[in-house]
Amino acid sequence: QVQLVQSGAEVKKSGSSVSVSCKASGDIFRNSGIIWVRQAPGQGLEWMGGFIPMFGTREYAQKFQDRVKITADRSTSTAYMELSSLRPDDTAVYYCARVGSIAPDNWGQGTLVTVSS
Protein backbone atom coordinates (compact mmCIF):
# COMPACT_ATOMS: atom_id res chain seq x y z
CA GLN A 1 0.00 0.00 0.00
CA VAL A 2 1.25 3.45 -0.89
CA GLN A 3 2.20 5.66 2.04
CA LEU A 4 2.06 9.43 1.84
CA VAL A 5 4.16 11.47 4.27
CA GLN A 6 3.51 15.18 4.51
CA SER A 7 5.79 17.98 5.67
CA GLY A 8 5.57 19.43 9.15
CA ALA A 9 3.40 22.11 10.67
CA GLU A 10 3.78 25.69 9.50
CA VAL A 11 3.08 29.08 11.09
CA LYS A 12 2.65 31.90 8.61
CA LYS A 13 1.77 35.59 8.56
CA SER A 14 -1.20 36.96 6.67
CA GLY A 15 -0.32 37.77 3.08
CA SER A 16 2.49 35.23 2.84
CA SER A 17 2.55 31.85 1.07
CA VAL A 18 2.93 28.28 2.26
CA SER A 19 4.12 25.16 0.50
CA VAL A 20 3.17 21.74 1.82
CA SER A 21 4.84 18.63 0.46
CA CYS A 22 3.53 15.08 0.18
CA LYS A 23 6.08 12.33 -0.45
CA ALA A 24 4.95 8.92 -1.68
CA SER A 25 6.61 5.65 -0.76
CA GLY A 26 6.68 4.52 -4.37
CA ASP A 27 6.35 5.73 -7.94
CA ILE A 28 2.66 6.60 -7.63
CA PHE A 29 2.73 9.14 -10.41
CA ARG A 30 3.21 6.35 -12.94
CA ASN A 31 -0.51 5.64 -12.72
CA SER A 32 -2.04 7.93 -10.09
CA GLY A 33 -2.71 11.54 -9.25
CA ILE A 34 -2.81 13.61 -6.10
CA ILE A 35 -5.59 15.68 -4.62
CA TRP A 36 -5.54 18.19 -1.76
CA VAL A 37 -8.23 18.72 0.85
CA ARG A 38 -8.29 20.97 3.88
CA GLN A 39 -10.13 21.00 7.19
CA ALA A 40 -10.45 24.11 9.32
CA PRO A 41 -10.59 23.56 13.10
CA GLY A 42 -13.87 21.86 14.03
CA GLN A 43 -15.13 22.04 10.45
CA GLY A 44 -15.76 19.66 7.58
CA LEU A 45 -13.59 18.62 4.65
CA GLU A 46 -13.06 21.07 1.81
CA TRP A 47 -11.87 20.10 -1.67
CA MET A 48 -9.03 22.21 -3.05
CA GLY A 49 -7.94 20.53 -6.28
CA GLY A 50 -5.80 17.86 -7.87
CA PHE A 51 -3.16 16.94 -10.42
CA ILE A 52 -2.46 13.87 -12.55
CA PRO A 53 1.20 14.18 -13.66
CA MET A 54 1.12 11.49 -16.35
CA PHE A 55 -1.60 13.45 -18.19
CA GLY A 56 -0.58 16.92 -17.02
CA THR A 57 -4.18 17.46 -15.93
CA ARG A 58 -4.97 19.92 -13.14
CA GLU A 59 -8.25 21.05 -11.63
CA TYR A 60 -8.70 23.62 -8.87
CA ALA A 61 -11.83 24.38 -6.88
CA GLN A 62 -13.20 27.74 -7.92
CA LYS A 63 -12.72 29.13 -4.42
CA PHE A 64 -8.96 28.59 -4.60
CA GLN A 65 -8.43 29.11 -8.34
CA ASP A 66 -6.43 32.32 -7.96
CA ARG A 67 -4.31 31.30 -4.97
CA VAL A 68 -3.40 27.60 -5.19
CA LYS A 69 -0.84 25.72 -7.23
CA ILE A 70 -0.46 21.94 -7.19
CA THR A 71 2.68 20.43 -8.68
CA ALA A 72 4.63 17.19 -8.57
CA ASP A 73 8.22 16.05 -8.92
CA ARG A 74 8.12 12.58 -10.42
CA SER A 75 11.80 12.00 -9.76
CA THR A 76 11.22 12.19 -6.00
CA SER A 77 7.58 11.01 -5.94
CA THR A 78 6.67 14.23 -4.15
CA ALA A 79 3.64 16.44 -4.67
CA TYR A 80 3.38 20.04 -3.54
CA MET A 81 0.52 22.37 -2.71
CA GLU A 82 1.30 26.08 -2.58
CA LEU A 83 -1.29 28.50 -1.23
CA SER A 84 -0.63 32.22 -1.52
CA SER A 85 -2.09 35.42 -0.05
CA LEU A 86 -2.76 33.60 3.21
CA ARG A 87 -5.50 34.82 5.55
CA PRO A 88 -6.31 33.75 9.13
CA ASP A 89 -9.26 31.71 7.81
CA ASP A 90 -6.78 29.57 5.86
CA THR A 91 -5.78 28.07 9.21
CA ALA A 92 -6.48 24.38 8.71
CA VAL A 93 -5.09 20.89 8.44
CA TYR A 94 -4.15 20.23 4.82
CA TYR A 95 -4.30 16.67 3.51
CA CYS A 96 -2.98 15.08 0.33
CA ALA A 97 -4.45 11.85 -1.02
CA ARG A 98 -3.78 9.55 -3.94
CA VAL A 99 -6.34 9.15 -6.69
CA GLY A 100 -6.18 6.17 -9.00
CA SER A 101 -9.08 4.63 -10.86
CA ILE A 102 -11.46 5.19 -7.96
CA ALA A 103 -11.93 7.70 -5.19
CA PRO A 104 -9.10 9.22 -3.15
CA ASP A 105 -7.87 6.25 -1.15
CA ASN A 106 -4.44 6.61 0.47
CA TRP A 107 -4.14 9.76 2.57
CA GLY A 108 -1.27 11.67 4.11
CA GLN A 109 -1.23 12.33 7.84
CA GLY A 110 -2.16 15.99 7.44
CA THR A 111 -0.22 19.23 7.91
CA LEU A 112 -1.42 21.99 10.21
CA VAL A 113 -1.00 25.45 8.74
CA THR A 114 -1.63 28.32 11.15
CA VAL A 115 -2.01 31.83 9.77
CA SER A 116 -1.69 34.79 12.12
CA SER A 117 -2.67 38.33 11.43
Q: Binding residue for another protein (CB under 8 A) from 45, 85, 88, 116?
A: 45
Among 62, 66, 89, 117, binds another protein (CB under 8 A): 62
Give dist(CA 107, CA 117) in Å, integer. 30
Number of shown-chain residues binding another protein (CB under 8 A): 27
CB nearer to another protein: pick between 14 and 25: 25
44 binds another protein, rule: CB under 8 A? yes
Q: What is the DSSP letter of 101?
A: S
Q: Are strands 57-60 and 78-83 parallel, antiparallel or unpaired?
A: unpaired
Q: Which residues contact 48 (CB under 8 A, 6 or more apart)?
A: 35, 36, 37, 38, 60, 61, 64, 68, 70, 81, 94
Stretch that binds another protein, among 14-22, 23-31, 83-91, 105-113 (CB under 8 A): 105-113
Q: Which residues bind another protein (CB under 8 A)?
A: 33, 35, 37, 44-47, 49-52, 57-59, 61-62, 95, 97, 99, 102-105, 107-110
